[in-house]
Structure 1
Amino acid sequence: MLTFFKFSFFFGGIVPLFLGLYIFLNNRKDVTSRSYFGLSLGCTVWALGFFLLISATEYKSAYFFRTIMDIGAIILPSFWIHFVYSVLNLKLDKSREIILWYFLGIVLVAVNIFDYFSPGLFISGLSAKGVFEFYPVAGIGYYFFVLVYLMIIPRSMWYLFRGYRKYDGIKSQQIKYFGVASLIGFGGGATAFFYTFNIMIAPYGVVLFALYPIIIAYGITRHQLFNIKVVVTEIFVAALSIFVLTRTILADTGKEMIINGTLFLAVTVTGYYLIRSSLKEIAQREKIEKLASDLTAANTKLQGLDQLKSEFVSLASHQLRGPLTAIKGYTSEIIEGDFGEVPKHLFQPLHTILKSCQSLVTIVEDFLNVSRMEQGKMTYDRTFFDMADLIEEVVRENQPNFDRKKLKVYVMASQGSNVEADRGKIKQIVGNLIDNSIKYTPAGEVHVGVARNADKIVFSVKDTGVGIRRETMPKLFQKFSRAEDASKANILGTGLGLYIASQMIKAHGGRIWAESAGEGKGSAFFVELLAA
């Protein structure tokens, strides 16, 4: 039976030490971690002190171990209620109460230590009780200790009960497991008082104190109070080490002691590296989780800034479009003579103004389109029309530009190329692609065509111009993307035309792509839409 008590106290002392050290070392500045470590240390000192007391073979050493044991017993309630305060996030107005409990604990520890040098103040001595050769008998100081114990434990349980009713979810479950663990742990530990007060009931309940850290560990594992993987690993290693160490201590022969001792060292070393590996893995995971969290926050912030940018561009573009339209309109009327005859030497400057104004109107319209797309405000008015008619119309409108650059244009438009789409948007896309071919073809020819391919209508623009580099091709339809040498042919380009075209075609359920054999070998653009 003595072996049963020894194992209970030894197990109840080692496991809290593992848990307390882990939690404290992972967050030394946290009040909850520090108070939990103090609580665990009190459990360890009391349980191991009791283990050494009942293992002692002479009175003097037994009295020394009794002193150590009672130091743990005295500090344990103070750290426990401090731990309860921190878990429940009680306000600072409770600090005086905490100071009072610690003060009483310090006074009782001092009395206990003084008793070691002048026996009789805290306990009246040690005597044989049941299977124990040495067991403390209560003195005057011990009655005060029990009084403090009986004040702190019920009070802390009341706080836990109120916290359990106040909180929901995981927090509530955490408090429940702490409450159950404290009832079992302190209830089991309290059975050690019986012999001390000459009540002849053996302290069988101390086995429940040994279960206290296991229940706490279950709460940790079940409800993630602290890191699950490391705690479970530590408990497993601790339990295995305790089992092997107990076999070593209780070995009947020297041979068994050597074998079990060697096994204990092997288990301890292996467990150390296992725990260290788990800690390293967890640290890396936490680092990745933090980076992911930071990235999410940065992405959210960027999305907000992007939204503000879109709104600003939309507002600015709307404000610019009005004056530009007025400048364009009045300049056109002046050229046409609506305000009287225009001197010949002003025609060229006025045409330059009109052309530049038209370019700016196009740029502003591009920005407005991008802003509408990003804000989800782009609308499409779908109608049925023949792509062949639309292409011939756009080519006619651009004929002066072909003639000015002395480019040959060939049109192959098959009638009956009907689609259901927004005619205005498709005309804008076709016009943009043809305009690009004119701009980026210094000399040669442009082939424009449309034909039916099964259930698709394919429009194409092929030229003999500057071509497209292979490295430029993947980013051709990206926002603000331009080829490195594009500014040589067109300094006013924004890199938005092809992006807008791709988004509009995508909204129509079609696709757009480009082909080129390389720089200086011309290019071809294709638009594919569903046939109507």
Structure 2
Amino acid sequence: MNADNAFFLFVNFVILETLYFMFTQLFTILPLTCAIFVLLFGVFILSKDRTSPMNRLMFGFSLSMFFWMFGTFMMFGLRGENRELALFWDRFVYAGVVFMPPFMHHFSLIFTKNKGQRKLLTINYLFAFFFLLISRTPYFVDDLNIYNWGAHSQARLFHHIFLFYFFIGTGIFFKNLFSEYRTIFNKERKIQIIYAFVAFAIVIFVGGSAYLYAYGIDTKFPFAYVSGLIFPVLLSYAISRHGLMHIRIVAAEILVGLVNFFIVIEIFLARSVSELVIRILVAAIVTVINVLLMISVQREIKRKDEITKLAKSLEQANLRLQELDRQKTEFLSIASHQLRTPLSIIKGYIELITDGAYGKVTPKTKAILADMDSSNERLVKLVDEFLDITRIEQGRTKFSFGMHDMNELVSSVVKELTDRAKDKKLKLVWKAGKTKEDVYMDDEKVRHVVFNYVDNAIKYTPKGKVTVTLEHGNNGVILKVTDTGIGFEKIDEVNFFQKFYRGKNVEGTNVNGTGLGIYVCRKFMEAQDGRVWATSPGAGKGSEFGFWLPQKTGEKPKVVQQDELAGVPHEIIEKKDTSTLASVV
């Protein structure tokens, strides 16, 4: 037998003996496993942010559990063979356990951001130090209870008092978390509280069953120490899944650590030198990959946190803008109503003066009165647009639906605006449909849209003609108003029909406007399940404004409020604009 084979036989023998020992000494190994696991968890927590009071307290609590589990391992291993040494290790256990109540109490105050209970917390810590000192004496524990799985010290007078303090002190933790849970509404925060509550409850109420052994009560299996495994696993899941304590990377590091652990074990199971070298190389490669993985995870989590913060700030800004928009709408509504009355009175007096109700009017005065009336009309129209906007945004616009002839409606608009076109020496062409075009619509609102389209085309066309056409398409009627006017660029095409937007093409012209007219047109058409659009080959090449309305049959006349229409939110309508508009055009 060569040296290599002898070496590997020895290694395999050691591993097999270790596994045999682990299975035969399960009761002893369980506390040790839990002790190592919970200590590693505490170190991980502390390494993430050593300055965080919450992380420090979690490390302190994990250290208390380590004292408990490791001291139990040492005490179980003796199996009562050395009474003095077994008592020493049991008192070692209480060196950590006595601080669990104040650590949990302190943790709950930081976790819930509770700035009160300072005196109560101080008293809790003082009791912990008192029981730390008294636990060194035979008045706390003394003598041993022997079980088939190990030994445990016997409780004395001060242990009874400590037990009462232990459950009262830790109960404050659960009371604070429960109070926080009842007063908050954030779902993610509630989940965090539930996980923290359950994890610590397992330690206190499952792990707390270990006190039974001090009173001679044998549970046959020391399942109390399993809590040392469940506690860090549950908190690790809460950390990774729900951002508890803001150190989600801990779960990834634990996973990587376990992978590395099993790979290292594989090295010792190699059967030849070549296999040993290969496994060492694999372990090195996996370690490098794991390091790169952790760097990537850290960057990803950092980026995600930044995006989350940005999203929250944008949400707050959006809420603020919505509030400002609501206030603006209310202001417009109040101001418009206040302006409407005096403008109507001014119009009435201008008409009375023009008609001679206050005496003879000279031609020069009539010209001045005509200018005043024209300016007043522009103000009235502006106020009406403001009122339309406020009614639309507040959902107070009423729609009166019925079957109406679209040809007749458009003809009336063209007839009304013909003289205005002639004054600018423009040709106004109306290509009516060949048959009667009955459409289920609010004829007043649709007439407003047609009037606005034709009126704008006349305003922004210095020379040439304006053409109005009506045709069928996509199970509805399509109206187009084309002109040979100033046109517009693509940037305007994208922004038209937005509130207060005026195209770049009108800069430098003497045409007045607010950018509200075609916005109101869009809202009126969308409320009737219609669509609007505007296109142009470019600046100086004319433009086309149009709309599409569905032709519905079998509908009865009705009057409805805007917010009762179709049940389709404006947000959904606006998202459909592009695709539907493309198919219509």
TM-score bin (small chain): 0.7 to 0.9
- State the shift of 1:304 in Å: 2.1
Match of 2:549 in 1: 529
The amino acid of 2:357's aligned partner reads D
- CA distance in structure 1 between the aligned counterparts of 2:416 and 2:484, rounded to whole angstroms: 21
- CA distance in structure 2 between the aligned counterparts of 1:260 and 1:146, rounded to whole angstroms: 52
| Equivalent residue for 2:125, pick from 99, 107, 111 | 99
Match of 1:506 in 2: 526
Match of 1:117 in 2: none
- CA distance in structure 2 between the aligned counterparts of 1:172 and 1:478, rounded to whole angstroms: 48
Match of 1:212 in 2: 228
| Equivalent residue for 1:87, pick from 96, 108, 117 | 108
Match of 1:448 in 2: 468
The amino acid of 1:434's aligned partner reads V
Match of 1:457 in 2: 477
Match of 1:182 in 2: 204
Match of 1:373 in 2: 392
> Is residue 36 of structure 1 aligned with residue 58 of structure 2?
yes
- State the shift of 1:357 in Å: 1.1
- State the shift of 1:316 in Å: 1.0
- CA distance in structure 2 between the aligned counterparts of 1:454 and 1:147, rounded to whole angstroms: 86
The amino acid of 2:533's aligned partner reads W
Match of 1:115 in 2: none
Q: Is the 8 A contact 1:174 1:225 kept in 2?
A: no
| Equivalent residue for 1:475, pick from 495, 499, 524 | 495
Change over 3 Å in CA distance of 1:443–1:311 after alignment to 2:
same
- CA distance in structure 1 between the aligned counterparts of 2:77 and 2:288, rounded to whole angstroms: 27
| Equivalent residue for 1:519, pick from 523, 539, 548 | 539
- CA distance in structure 2 between the aligned counterparts of 1:13 and 1:363, rounded to whole angstroms: 78
- State the shift of 1:484 in Å: 1.1
- CA distance in structure 1 between the aligned counterparts of 2:27 and 2:256, rounded to whole angstroms: 22
Please identify, of 401-410 and 78-87, the stretch whose mean Cα deviation from structure 2 is larger: 78-87
Q: Report the TM-score, using the length of structure 1 for normalisation.
A: 0.76
SS in structure 2 at match of 1:82: helix
Change over 3 Å in CA distance of 1:68–1:271 after alignment to 2:
farther
SS in structure 2 at match of 1:381: strand
Match of 1:150 in 2: 163
**Deviation sequence 1:50-81 (CA, Å, 0-9, x none):** 7689999xxxxx99x99899566313322344
Match of 1:345 in 2: 364
Change over 3 Å in CA distance of 1:281–1:456 after alignment to 2:
closer
The amino acid of 2:485's aligned partner reads G
- State the shift of 1:333 in Å: 2.6
- State the shift of 1:11 in Å: 1.8
Change over 3 Å in CA distance of 1:250–1:466 after alignment to 2:
closer
> Is residue 363 of structure 1 aligned with residue 389 of structure 2?
no
The amino acid of 2:163's aligned partner reads L
The amino acid of 2:129's aligned partner reads F
Match of 1:59 in 2: none
How many aligned residue pairs are there?
504
Please identify, of 223-232 and 210-219, the stretch whose mean Cα deviation from structure 2 is larger: 223-232
- State the shift of 1:284 in Å: 3.3
- State the shift of 1:478 in Å: 1.6
The amino acid of 1:295's aligned partner reads L
Match of 2:562 in 1: none
1:275-424 aligned within 5 A: 277-414=296-433, 416-424=436-444
Q: Is the 8 A contact 1:35 1:79 kept in 2?
A: no
- State the shift of 1:279 in Å: 4.6
- CA distance in structure 1 between the aligned counterparts of 2:279 and 2:212, rounded to whole angstroms: 34
- State the shift of 1:526 in Å: 2.2
Q: Is the 8 A contact 2:74 2:89 kept in 1?
A: no
Change over 3 Å in CA distance of 1:527–1:39 after alignment to 2:
closer
Change over 3 Å in CA distance of 1:157–1:467 after alignment to 2:
closer
- State the shift of 1:7 in Å: 3.7
Match of 1:439 in 2: 459
The amino acid of 1:442's aligned partner reads P
Q: Is the 8 A contact 2:57 2:103 kept in 1?
A: yes
- State the shift of 1:329 in Å: 2.3
Please identify, of 216-225 and 439-448, the stretch whose mean Cα deviation from structure 2 is larger: 216-225
- CA distance in structure 2 between the aligned counterparts of 1:392 and 1:202, rounded to whole angstroms: 100
- State the shift of 1:440 in Å: 0.6
Gapped regions of structure 2 (runs ≥ 5): 1-20, 79-83, 183-189, 553-585
The amino acid of 2:228's aligned partner reads Y
Change over 3 Å in CA distance of 1:361–1:186 after alignment to 2:
same
- State the shift of 1:220 in Å: 5.6
Change over 3 Å in CA distance of 1:46–1:382 after alignment to 2:
closer
Match of 1:21 in 2: 43
The amino acid of 2:321's aligned partner reads L
- State the shift of 1:355 in Å: 0.9
Q: Is the 8 A contact 2:87 2:142 kept in 1?
A: no
**Deviation sequence 1:93-130 (CA, Å, 0-9, x none):** 52242132243266469x79xxxxxxx999999xxx99
**Deviation sequence 1:358-396 (CA, Å, 0-9, x none):** 111111111111111111111111233333333332233
> Is residue 74 of structure 1 aligned with residue 95 of structure 2?
yes
Please identify, of 462-471 and 215-224, the stretch whose mean Cα deviation from structure 2 is larger: 215-224
CA RMSD of aligned residues (A): 4.9
- State the shift of 1:4 in Å: 4.8
- CA distance in structure 2 between the aligned counterparts of 1:488 and 1:265, rounded to whole angstroms: 73
